[in-house]
Amino acid sequence: MTTAALFILLLLFLLTGMPIAFALGLSSVTTILLFSNDSLASIALKLIESQSEHYTLLAIPFSSFHRLFCRPEGVPTASLILPSTASAGFVAAWQWPRSSPA
C-alpha cells in the first residue's frame, strides 16, 4: 500500500508539471507523513544532518548566496578579502612550524 501510494503521488505530481526533484521530494515526504510514525521535525532533522556531512555540496548554495548578496548592494569582493589578508596575511608560507631535524 505504501509503495503504491508513493508511485501514485509521484506520477500525480509529474503529470501536474512539477519538476522531477520536487516531485520526488514531495511524494516521499507525503508518504512518510501518511504511512510512518516519523514526525515532520524528524524528517527536517534528517535532511539537515545529511546535508551537513557534504561540505562541497554546501559550497554551491553559499557561493550563489554570496554572489546575490554582494553584487546588488555594491560590496566589492576586495573588501571581503581584506580582513582575511589583514588577519593572516603577515604569516608567510615559510614561517609555518616545521619539524626539527633529527
Amino acid residing at 26: L
DSSP 8-state assignment for residue 74:
T
Of residues 58 and 48, more confidently modeled: 48
Query: What totals of helices (H) and strands (E) does the chain contain, helices first?
Result: 5, 0
The whole-number average pLDDT for the span 47-67 is 73
DSSP 8-state assignment for residue 92:
-
Query: pLDDT confidence of 43, banded at 50, 70, 90?
Result: confident
Which phi and psi angles does 100 have, rounded to 5°? Answer: -75, 145
Query: pLDDT confidence of 9, banded at 50, 70, 90?
Result: very high
Mean pLDDT score of the chain: 76
Tell me, yes or no, if the pTM score tops 0.75.
no
Q: What does the domain layout of the chain look like in residue ranges? A: 1-37, 38-74
- 3-state SS assignment for residue 1: coil
Alpha carbon distance 33, 39 (integer Å):
7
Provide the CA 47 distance to its chain's centre, in angstroms.
10
Per-residue pLDDT at 37 = 84
